[in-house]
Amino acid sequence: MAEGVTARAVAAMILDGVLGQGRMLDEVSGGDLSPADRARAMRLAATVLRHLEQADRVLDRHLRKAPPLSVRNVLRLAVVELAEGAPAHGVVNAAVEIMRQGKRTAHFAGLVNAVLRALPAEGLFVGLPPQRLPRWLRQPLVHIYGRDAVTAIETVQTREPPLDLTLRPGLPAPEGEALPTGSLRLHGPSQVSTLPGYDQGAWWVQDAAAALPARLLDPQPGERVLDLCAAPGGKTLQLAAAGAEVTALDISGPRMARVEANLRRTGLTARTVVADALHWQPEAPFDAILLDAPCSATGTIRRHPDLPFVKDGSDLPALVALQAQLLDRALGWLKPDGRLVFATCSLLPEEGETQLAAALERHPTLTVERTELPGIQPDWWTPAGGLRLRPDYWAERGGMDGFFLARLRQG
């Protein structure tokens, strides 16, 4: 294919996989691409998913009838690129070339050319509302947080998120914005492996919100600490860097391999275990446990814009039940007076506030500890002592992942 076409063609193929086959972005093969082209294709596809409704509103003004999905996805890709200010000549030519290369799409090349050349030169998305959350998620969130808050969340989620790093003190680090909670935020595109300190294991990529559960747990040197559901390992690294004796457990072998790779890169030490936590049994109780439980991941849509198009909320009851099982089991592995941080990257109270209330009912001796953390606003704490984080917090800085976390003390 001509220069500049390959990454766009793969981006359109990735969109076909997400929107046509219900596959997550990281499950769709990008073909035989260079790392740079693969990264560009993924970024283009993710950007389209963040602006899909806006692109469709623009296109529907110029389409008499709906084209096949693969054709619409190429049009969507072109519209989003034009809205971002990409040169029209290259965008239109690439879209037409992609159509011509496909046996089933070649006869749509003229349509694609005509539609794209009919679009205004600028202001394509001006006045259009941001990409809305799916109905199954938006309705309960409007009820919980209010319409204005949900619109603010949606607005943040249309932007490509910045890159957050968790640092090891005294080691090299890139230049960036020091966040109030202790993370470092990098704005603009970055190739992670080329940043200062990468080879020395001086930091790791971790959203600022995702770094807070380990900070809330406050591991101490020499403590026996369990990181339950540990992959991809950012929290394991935090616990190990604090000097704790860490056991990292996850049910997925491939995901645990990523944890082990990060441990090697950083030179940190933890015992890694691949096992089902519902059947595994530790040799001895722990001083502290961090349970970042499997959840709907509805707090991470700013980083995973494919999620609303793949998930429908039907797995929520099973996830809530699993979280309760894991929490009950983990509490049984604590030493007397041990502490546990429960966390989910979810915006739904069933996986946060309601889950906490149910755990306190099941365990009368369990108490919630609210401890001060740098950079946390007082109104982020719930009346019950949990910490509720939302994507629209720090909106002017690029937002944060949505999380619920609570620190529990075993009586």
How much is the pLDDT for 4?
60
163-409, CATH topology level: Rossmann fold (3.40.50)
Whether 6-117 shares its CATH topology with 163-409 is answered no
Query: Which CATH architecture fits 6-117?
Result: Orthogonal Bundle (1.10)
How much is the pLDDT for 3?
46
* Residue of 71, 345, 356, 359 with catalytic role: 345
How much is the pLDDT for 188?
85
| Three-state secondary structure of the chain | CCCCCHHHHHHHHHHHHHHHHCCCHHHCCCCCCCHHHHHHHHHHHHHHHHCHHHHHHHHHCCCCCCCCHHHHHHHHHHHHHHHCCCCHHHHHHHHHHHHHHCCCCHHHHHHHHHHHHCCCCCCCCCCCCCCCCCHHHHHHHHHHHCHHHHHHHHHHHCCCCCEEEEECCCCCCCCCEECCCCCEEECCCCCHHHCCCCCCCCEEECCCCCCHHHHHHCCCCCCEEEEECCCCCHHHHHHHHCCCEEEEEECCHHHHHHHHHHHHHHCCCCEEEECCCCCCCCCCCEEEEEEECCCCCHHHCCCCCCHHHHCCCCCHHHHHHHHHHHHHHHHCCEEEEEEEEEEECCCCHHHCHHHHHHHHHHCCCCEEECCCCCCCCHHHECCCCCEEECCCCCHHHCCCCCEEEEEEECC
Give me the residue spans of the domains in the chain: 6-117, 163-409
For the question of whether the overall pTM of this predicted structure is more than 0.85, the answer is yes
Regions of the chain where pLDDT drops below 50? 1-3
Active site residue 295: no
